[in-house]
Amino acid sequence: MAEMKVNLCGIELDNPIIPASGTFGFGYEFAEVYDINLLGTFSFKGTTKDPRFGNPTPRIAECPMGMINAVGLQNPGVDKVISEELPKLAKCFNKKVMANVSGFAIEDYAYTCERLDACEQVGWLEVNVSCPNVHGGGMSFGTSPEAAAAVTRAVKKVTTKPVIIKLSPNVTDIVSIAKACEEAGADGISLINTLLGMRIDLRTKKPVIANKMGGFSGSAIFPVAVRMVYQVANAVKIPVVGMGGVSSAEDVIEMMLAGATAVEVGAANLINPYACRDIINDLPRVMEKYRINSLSEIIGGVQ
Residues taking part in catalysis: 131
Q: Are 225 and 191 in contact (CB under 8 A)?
A: yes
Tell me the CA end-to-end span of the chain in Å, nearest whole number. Answer: 25
280: which residues sit within 8 A by CB, 6+ positions away? Answer: 4, 15, 17, 38, 39
Angle at 96 between CA 102 and CA 140, to 5 degrees: 15
| Residue 163 exposure: Cα atoms within 13 Å on the Cβ side | 32
b/e burial code for range 149-180 (CB count within 10 A of at least 16 → b): bbbbbbbbeebebbbbbbbbbbbeebbebbbb
Helix axes 275-289, 249-258, angle to 10 degrees: 70
